Amino acid sequence: MYVAVKGGEAAITSAHELLAEARRGDPAEPELSLAQIGGQLTLAVDRVMTEGSVYDRELAALAIKQARGDLVEAVFLLRAYRTTLPRLVASLPLDTSAMLVRRRISAVFKDLPGGQVLGPTFDYTHRLLDFDLARPDGQRPPANEPEPPATTDDQPVAPMARVADILGREGLLQPETEADPCAEVGDITRDPLTYPAGRDVRLQSLARADEGFLLALGYSTQRGFGKNHPFAGEIRMGEVEVQIVPEELGFAVSIGSLTLTECEMVNQFKGGKSLPPQFTRGYGLSFGESERKAMSMALVDRALRCRELGESPGAPAQDEEFVLSHADSVEASGFVQHLKLPHYVDFQAELVMVRDMRRKFESRETSGEENGSERETALRG
Amino acid sequence: MEASVRLRCEADLTGLAGYNFAYLDEQTKRMIRRALLKAVAIPGYQVPFASREMPLPYGWGTGGIQVTASIIGPEDTLKVIDQGADDTTNAVSIRRFFARTAGVATTEDTEAASIIQTRHRVPETRLREDQILVYQVPQPEPLRLMEPRESETRTMHALEEYGSMYVKLYEDVTRHGRIATAYSYPVRVEGRYVMSPSPIPKFDNPKLTKAPMLQLFGAGREKRIYAVPPYTEVRSLDFEDYPFSVEGWDEPCALCGATDTYLDEIVTDDHGGRMFVCSDSNHCARRRAAAGEEA
């Protein structure tokens, strides 16, 4: 008679065995290696590192493999690992003007010191499925496009000045407020976010935020919901050295380098009560080659600066609480999917109440007048 | 030799190789304990804390798990329930998480547990002073439905500005002739903070007041901890002429015959057949065992 509605330990174990099987796919096919994921699905790895906020290609590749290619799930895996790691030291601020640039473009100047460097980009490709790629390496016909000129080599270009610094020299671009070098930078993984949030923790939240969410918000500012007239001042991608100052040494040493994408949006600004007309900035930074993410982040960063610049907020992208408390994919995905958990106790409470209210409703239908006066008493009460 | 023995002991204590006892590192536990102390000192007040990413998803009990992880010791005995039952999938998963990461004893027996982590129910068995009840909380803010902004609701709590909550309850009364909140029914703690008791059915609300056990509430995604210390007054909000009341059933539990417990409705066939059984599976099983002995 008793119907089993509650799941047991055995069911969970079996479900996870099925998952492992589904992940592996057809056993006749060779298994994906971490090196393959890390080396060939590089942009997936970059996204998982950025939103998972751990710079480790191998761990990100492992997370992607374990998550069957579900990047949001992979981000979650990486975060849950990251959170157990000790925080050893804070690095010096990264100097992106010393970046070994592999890609650098500016939409605001035709040419500039260092030039425009396209680098590896999907831009200007025709999005036609390349059926030759469907065949393994050795069996492809030779490409009939002309060989690229031999002058380009794979060497990164020498360090080049940032466009923002060039504009800043003329005073046309609002200077970034000089941060107190001794002041501690907030850490959203160590302190809960409070509102209004400082720009440091705001940028941290945006850096970890879901790319799709930021993309949509950034897009909404372009379509008039919090318009801020952006120009892509500069987008650069390349390697940046990470330096720390160990206490026992007292001077900076390099501990390695990161591949980063940095986007600096330049936005029109007509000036405010205390500010002369000038250009303002929105800033985006991501691990690896996550360019769409860095651009979206810069748009949203600028939108969220509306109060500081005396603009009247009103659009969703300008609403700090709305943006920051819903941007994290790990939080959002967890809470949306918790609806799968049983809720029958709460539902039972609702059922009991609705049935009771319906009974009252039906009895009122049958003896309308009496209940009408009862209702009035209720109102007066 | 000695070193390897010590290592093994440590592994025994920590439960899961590569992770600290009960998963969280000690720094994090200390941070959470500080938040818990503050929460106990200000009953019903939501203390922000630096919630960690857990290996279980947000919304699936990460707040409760972090609270449990920071108070649990090797001698503790843990019970985990979801919807009142020990064998619900998520309860099984959380219990297994602590068995794995802390190596602690687990139990389904309410009386044998020193810590009980729960989702959506308070056990029917009256708890004791030496027990701690840890609630998993999806939305700690009782005012959230009226005001979506955290900055606003914090001010409202600070100023004891609970008018909008009463207006909402009053609107229920005018529209439905009663307060139409069946679960997550708001309470006022020790005459000060309005608090969400978590989505327990209002049937369970009276169990919170003047209770001997310490009650801790953890909301992981929302990064809040709050508490009801033992023997604290917890009043369900109501009006003098519309006093708080709890739901009841027309029939007793089909398994143990209890008439004073919260019942789950089990659909038994596809033409309207149904039965009602205790939601607290351990309480129900114990009553049946006792009845069996008597017979």
CB contacts < 8 A (A, B): 160
Same domain as A296, residue A192: yes
Residue carrying the six token digits 């979801």: B82
What average pLDDT does this structure show over B122-134? 97
- Name the band, by pLDDT with cuts 50, 70 and 90, for residue B7: very low
Verify whether the Cβ–Cβ distance A7 to B265 is below 8 Å: no
Does some domain include residue A247? yes
pLDDT tier for residue A36 given thresholds of 50, 70 and 90 = very high
The Cα-based distances of A338 to B57, B60, B137 in angstroms read 8, 6, 12
CA distance A142 to B249: 78
Tell me, yes or no, whether A162 lies in a domain: yes
Q: Which residues of B touch A313 (CB under 8 A)?
A: none
A330: in domain = yes
Going by pLDDT thresholds of 50, 70 and 90, the confidence category of residue A376 is very low
B182 touches A: beta carbon within 8 Å: yes
In this structure, the answer to whether residues A323 and A358 fall within a common structural domain is: no
B9 in catalytic set: no
Q: What is residue A374's predicted lDDT score, i.e. its pLDDT? A: 45
Q: How far is A78 from chain B (nearest CA, A)?
A: 9
Q: Is the predicted pLDDT of residue B290 greater than 60, yes or no?
A: yes
User: Does a structural domain hold residue A25?
Assistant: yes
Do A115 and A220 belong together in one domain?
Answer: yes
Is B275 touching A (CB cutoff 8 A)? yes
Question: A7 versus A190: which is more confidently predicted?
Answer: A190
Q: Is B261 on the interface with A (CB under 8 A)?
A: no
What is the structure's pLDDT at B84? Answer: 92
What's the domain count of chain A? 3
- How far is the C-alpha of B211 from the C-alpha of B229, rounded, in Å? 8
Domain end residue (candidates: A56, A82, A108): A82
Residue B88's pLDDT is 86
What single-letter amino acid sits at B17?
A
In a domain, A46, yes or no: yes
Contact yes or no for B36/B71 (Cβ under 8 A): yes
Is the Cβ of A131 closer than 8 Å to some Cβ of chain B?
Answer: no
pLDDT at A155 over 90: no
pLDDT digit string, tens, across residues A113-140: 888 888 999 888 888 888 888 888 777 7
Cβ distance B149 to A191 less than 8 Å, yes or no, reads: no
Same domain? A210 vs A277: yes
Above 70 in pLDDT, residue B70? Answer: yes
Does a cis peptide bond (omega within 30 degrees of 0) precede residue A196? yes
State residue B148's pLDDT score.
Answer: 86
Identify the pLDDT of residue A361.
Answer: 86
Indicate whether B158 pLDDT > 80: yes
Chain A residues whose CB is inside 8 A of the B92 CB are: 7-9, 12
Q: Of A318 and A226, which is predicted with more confidence?
A: A318
* A237 plus A172 within the same structural domain: yes
Top pLDDT among A183 and B36 is at B36
pLDDT of residue A170: 75
For residues A264 and A177, membership in a common domain is answered with yes
User: How far apart, in Å, are the Cα atoms of A265 and each of A144, A169, A236, A301?
Assistant: 38, 17, 12, 9
Digit-coded pLDDT (tens) for A171-180: 788 877 766 6
Which H or E run contains B3? Answer: helix B2-14
Average pLDDT, chain A: 86
The answer to whether residue A152 scores a pLDDT higher than 60 is no
Average pLDDT over residues B233-244: 95
Under the banding of pLDDT at 50, 70 and 90, the label for residue A344 is: confident
Domain identity same for A249 and A314? yes
Residues A198 and A326 in one domain: yes
Could you give the angle at which helices B26-41 and B62-71 cross, rounded to 10 degrees? 100
Give the integer Cα–Cα distance in Å for A54 and A69: 18
Of the residues A201, A307, A326, A345, the best mutation for testing chain B's interface (the one with the most B CB atoms within 10 Å of its CB) is A345
Q: Are B223 and B235 in contact (CB under 8 A)?
A: no
What per-residue confidence (pLDDT) applies to B15? 65
Give the 3-state secondary structure of residue A33.
coil
Confidence of residue A270 (pLDDT cuts 50, 70, 90): confident
Identify whether A147 is part of a domain: no
Partners of residue B277 in chain A, C-beta under 8 Å: 2
- In angstroms, the Cα distances linking A34 to A39, A62, A125 are 8, 6, 28
The answer, yes or no, to whether residue B86 has pLDDT greater than 80, is: yes
* Known active-site residue B253: yes
Q: Flag whether pLDDT at A110 surpasses 90.
A: no
Is the pLDDT at B114 greater than 80, yes or no? yes
CB contact under 8 A, A350 and B173: no
pLDDT at B139: 93
Same domain, A180 and A114: yes
Q: Does residue B117 surpass a pLDDT of 50? A: yes
pLDDT for the residue numbered B44: 97
pLDDT in tens, A46-103: 999 999 999 999 999 999 999 999 999 999 999 999 998 888 888 999 999 999 999 9
Do A106 and A222 sit in the same domain of this protein? yes
pLDDT level of residue A6 (50, 70, 90 thresholds)? low
Q: How far is A189 from chain B (nearest CA, A)?
A: 7
Least confident span in A55-69, A366-380, B189-203, B222-236? A366-380
A2 vs B255: CB contact, 8 Å cut-off? yes
Q: A224: pLDDT confidence band, cut at 50, 70 and 90?
A: confident
Same domain, A66 and A171: no
Domain co-membership, A198 together with A59: no
pLDDT of residue B189: 98
Domain span at residue A372 reads: 344-380
Residue A294 is predicted with a pLDDT of 97
The answer, yes or no, to whether residue B10 has pLDDT greater than 60, is no
Which residues lie closer than 8 Å to B38 by C-beta, 6 or more apart?
B45, B47
Q: Is residue A4 part of a domain?
A: no
Interchain CB distance below 8 Å, B87 and A348: no
Q: Give residue A375's pLDDT.
A: 43
Mark which residues 315-344 of A lie under 8 Å from B by CB: 321, 325, 330-331, 333-338, 341-344
Confidence bin at A25 (pLDDT 50/70/90): very high
Closest CA to B112 of B67, B82, B78, B84: B78
The pTM (predicted TM-score) of the whole model is 0.82
The residue-averaged pLDDT of A351-366 equals 87
Structural domain includes residue A188:
yes
